[in-house]
Amino acid sequence: MRDEDLCYMPATEALARFRDRSLSPVELMRAVIARAEATEPGLNAITFRHFDEAMDEARKAEGRYARGGRVRPLEGLPVAIKDESFIKGKPTSNGSLILKDHVADHTSPVNDRILRAGAIVHARTATPEFSCAGYCWSRLWGVTRNPWNPAFTPGGSSGGSGAALAAGSATLATGSDIGGSIRIPASMTGTVGYKPPYGRNPEDPPFNLDFYCHNGPMARTVRDTILLQNVMAGPHPGDIASLRPRLRLPMEMRPIKGWKIAFSMDLGLFEVDREVQANTRAALDVFRDLGATVEEVDLGWPSDALDAGLTYLRHIFGAYLGQLLAEHGDEMTDYARAFAEAGLQSRAIDFVQSLEVAGRMYATLGPLLERYDLLICPTTAVPSVPADFNQHGGTVKINGKVVNPMLGWVMTTPFNMLSRCPVLSVPSGRAANGVPTGIQLVGRTYADADVFRAGLAYEAAAGGWFGGPKARPVL
């Protein structure tokens, strides 16, 4: 088998081959590291590299399979961890000059679970500074580029994870999502990303108490996403918001024939690029072919919904970053500094009003999801923006109309506002510039299995992604 095919092998297949001894963790790790070394100068998806240590761990995993018996759920798989969460004794920069020398003194709950499950962290993946942008560049690490077209961003904030998966330099990856930061790069890199409902996966304090905030899995297949989600999920003694009991998702699910699916092209809030619209309609036809009824709906959401989402983010996340301004403001990117400054201007009444808007939004979505099994909409309103785009002073136009440069071109934040809804982003096609597009599968509150059931059926009908050279980026 060619090294490139190893690099794009689904994690579930790799595990099966590890078990039957037709593939070694050492072979897979060697191929993935070689791929990363070959593609990194152009993509800049990886921050810290742990390649030598990863090879040592792969040899240990090889020995465990050779001895037979029980192995752990992710034994020997290369997993890239976003450079935002912590691994004790390892550097974590959050894409910031402020933390360029920071070494973690603890391991984040989900990372601890991933490591205990036998995964091998060979790389940390790039993020914009403090994850506060939908693109992926920082003063510390430079510009991360999209494997499908380097002129464009792979999205953010988990852009390095999406780029690494699309490039074949990771088998699985992690992301975090406070305004769309898993789903945006999943859409723009043609990968799969899952925003679990609030509390499903444990988080570090204080953001475990921020209901917009989620961490979750990213992969190239829906089954691989389930595989990693099953490791990440469950209550944790360090996170009071983490849910009991632990939810385990099955790898095989029933068809969706007979389902009723609602769709909205724009959520009543967005201008949507024509190519995104065309790819979304093609994806909806796949669901119809699967025996589902698909109907367009009007959510009736208030026109100030996006402003309310941004207000909340400024009040919690922006104010948190605002603590850095006095001592470190000159080290920050202009977009992070502007966000922090806005956070310090936020008022309690603004925060309360953002909650009121979210309540009005669910007052229509909740009853709608009693009548429909799922809501589908695009993940982003454009395929991508330039790799060096800057929301601080930058302009985004869609169909000739100027939109909010921070949130007006991504359709993800409403489902952080309605954070108990599980959302799976899956590919819907590619634009003329080569950049992929995606759709969001939005489920009823805490109905994780529903979005994965739909995702598995859709993926099977679509024939999967990254299955051969023509379905992969040319790097």
Catalytic residue numbers, as ranges:
82, 157, 181
What DSSP string runs through 115-168? Answer: HHTT-EEEEEE--SGGG-SSS-EETTTEE--BTTBTTB---SSSHHHHHHHHHT
Distance, in Å, from the CA atom of 474 to the CA atom of 149, rounded to the nearest integer, reads 9
Nearest to 438 by CA among 275, 218, 276: 276
Q: Which two tokens stand for residue 203?
A: 């988080």
> Is 214 within 8 Å of 233 (Cβ atoms)?
no
Q: Alpha-carbon distance 171 to 468, whole Å?
A: 16
**Residue pair 214/423 in contact by the 8 Å Cβ criterion:** no
For β-strands 172-177 and 142-143, DSSP reports them as: unpaired
- Distance of alpha carbon 291 from alpha carbon 287, whole angstroms: 7
Nearest to 194 by CA among 412, 12, 408, 461: 412
> Residue written as tokens 């990886």?
46
Q: What are the helix (H) ranges across 1-140?
A: 3-7, 11-20, 25-43, 51-67, 109-116
Under 8 Å CB-to-CB from 324, ≥6 apart: which residues? 98, 332, 340
| Distance (Å, whole) CA 406 – CA 411 | 11
Burial class (CB in 10 A: 0-12, 13-18, 19+), 255: middle
Spatial distance between the Cα atoms of 222 and 192, rounded to a whole number of angstroms:
6
**DSSP classification of residue 410:** B
CA–CA–CA angle 365, 366, 371 (5° rounding): 90
Structure tokens at 8: 């794009």
Q: Is 456 left (phi over 0), alpha (psi -120 to 50) or beta?
A: alpha
Query: Which of 77, 81, 135 has its CA nearest to residue 109?
Result: 81
Contacts of 21 (CB under 8 A, 6+ apart): 65, 66
